Amino acid sequence: MNFKEYFYGKKITVMRIGLLGRGVGDAKFLADAGAEVHVVDDASEEVMQPSVDALADYPNVRFSFGPYQKEHFTECDFVLVGAGAPMDLEVFEHARKAGVPLKQSAAWFAEISKVPIIGVTGTRGKSTVTHMIHHVLTEVTGEKVLLGGNVRGVSNLQLLDEVNEDSLCVMELDSWQLQGWGWSKMSPQVAVFTNFMEDHLNYYQAGGRTKEEALKLYFADKANIFEYQEESGVLVTTPEVFELAKQLPRVTLGQEVKLVDESVIPEDALLAMPGAHNRLNAAIACEALKAVSLDEESIFAGLASFPGVPGRLEYLGEKNGVKIYNDNNSTIPEATVKGLQAVGNINDKNVILIAGGAYKNIDPSPLAEETKKFCKKIVLLKGTGTDVLKEMVESEVVGSLSDAVSAGLASGQPGDVLLFSPGFASFGMFKNEYERNDEFVRCINEIDIKE
């Protein structure tokens, strides 16, 4: 199925192309389709050079760096907006007044392809649930199931090249990507909402908003996953999220709603990932899979073979009897609490925790209290969040992940757990959380560990 004719000859502004590969992939797809692509970014050309180099062979791609210009958003057919762009930017208002549609790639893929989508969101657990669903579908059907959304290195527009008439797509959708679904007044056919916690307050409190106002905006973005569902749609979520959803004045909730708790998963069910929160993740995935007509026997067999997701309580082996877990994608304090509860032993206080990073305006005091139950040692990476947490806990602050791993393992004994679960954002020391993940894995790979 050829979707490129849709873009041929169109003038498309690509905003905030990023350095993770997804934006570059989208730009390549548009350029290959014959669109005139104008990449704009308020970062410097020096910072964005890797993305510039990746598109150097396309004569129909040009670049503008520095402050955004009105004409870049009004003299085009579409604006493809990258994740995290402030929604109150004046250039967006100019685009709307000029009748130029704002798009984001995940929703644009769904709009053009018409492929049935299982969309997954939530503050925590969305990556794990997305990959659980995708793994089981692939195992059970034996067919290629598309995987997109907030997936490392995956361009949603390039996925259009893989669509056929029987395609099904599973998408991890963060709050920024769901803004695009709201602009298009669409929701996935099966909407999965794992949980709702404080996160991204540094983004949503911009402009002087209160914490309460920010959380409402954050939830409203998340709610796009079910707001525009038809009555034939299915919403899979928890009772806690459903109570929040019922408070939205504009939502009727006429679709089928499945409320989930851990009891969906039998006590003797085999799961590779530790922790009560991952039993809930599996329960949510199970109900989503039932919504696309899979039977329980097939679902539980698929879940038993699910290997887990890199950076989410990922077991990396052991060194001198110390088990090593990579929980890099825990970027809020509450997620690190869940990690401690999953791998720690209160009686032995057996966890050596590596944490710290950039502050997201989320109070880390609950994490500080939990470390007193589980941790024998805490090693913190430098950062604005670390500056807050270190006043609450006894810890060692280091300047690199290599130093953190060395300091952590030096205090380990057989039966201990080295848990890398930052609890904060990666910015400052790293370009993004993926670079942080890769650096931790590199540090572990340099030591002699047993699988």
DSSP secondary structure, 68-102, as one string: --HHHHHSSSEEEEPTT--TT-HHHHHHHHTTPPE
Q: What does the pLDDT look like over 182-221, one tens digit per residue?
A: 999 999 999 999 999 999 998 999 989 999 999 999 999 9
Query: 227 with 187: CB under 8 angstroms?
Result: yes
3-state secondary structure of 352: strand
Q: How confident is residue 19, by pLDDT bands cut at 50, 70 and 90? A: confident
Q: Which two tokens stand for residue 31?
A: 């350029």
Query: 105 with 157: CB under 8 angstroms?
Result: yes
State the maximum Cα–Cα separation within the chain, in Å, rounded to a whole number.
Answer: 66
Q: What does the pLDDT look like over 73-84, one tens digit per residue?
A: 999 999 999 988
Assess whether pLDDT exceeds 90 at residue 401: yes
Q: How confident is residue 250, by pLDDT bands cut at 50, 70 and 90? A: confident
- Cβ neighbours around 401 below 10 Å, total: 22
Q: Which two tokens stand for residue 131?
A: 């990959």
Q: What is the pLDDT of residue 299?
A: 95
Assess whether pLDDT exceeds 90 at residue 1: no
Percent of the chain with pLDDT over 70: 99
Q: What is the pLDDT of residue 273?
A: 79
Q: What does the pLDDT look like over 149-160, one tens digit per residue?
A: 999 889 999 999
b/e per residue 23-52 (b: at least 16 CB within 10 A):
bbbbbbbbbebebbbbbbbeeeeeebeebb
Query: 286 with 299: CB under 8 angstroms?
Result: yes
- Cβ neighbours around 220 below 10 Å, total: 18
Q: How confident is the model over 1-17, as a mean pLDDT?
A: 94
Q: What is the pLDDT of residue 18?
A: 85
Residue 245, exposed/middle/buried by CB under 10 A (0-12, 13-18, 19+)?
Answer: buried
Q: How confident is the model over 429-435, as a mean pLDDT?
A: 90
Residue 147 has phi, psi (to 5 degrees) of -130, 125
Q: Nearest to residue 421, comparing CAs of 221, 274, 222?
A: 274
The strand pairing partners of 14, in sequence order, are: 39, 80
Q: What is the pLDDT of residue 348?
A: 86
Taking CA atoms, 377 is separated from 76, 86, 238, 391, 437, in Å, by 55, 39, 35, 15, 21
Q: How confident is residue 170, by pLDDT bands cut at 50, 70 and 90? A: very high
Distance CA 215, CA 141 (A): 39
Q: How confident is residue 268, by pLDDT bands cut at 50, 70 and 90? A: confident
Q: How confident is residue 20, by pLDDT bands cut at 50, 70 and 90? A: confident
Q: How confident is the model over 325-338, as a mean pLDDT?
A: 95
Please state at what angle helix 296-304 crosses helix 276-290, rounded to 10 degrees. 140
What domains can be seen in the chain, in order of their start residue? 10-103 (3.40.50.720), 106-304 (3.40.1190.10), 314-445 (3.90.190.20)
Q: What is the pLDDT of residue 449?
A: 63
More confident call, 96 vs 346: 96
Assess whether pLDDT exceeds 60 at residue 451: no
- Provide the whole-model pTM: 0.89
Q: What does the pLDDT look like over 228-242, one tens digit per residue?
A: 999 999 999 999 999
Strands 11-15 and 78-81: parallel
Q: What is the pLDDT of residue 450?
A: 62
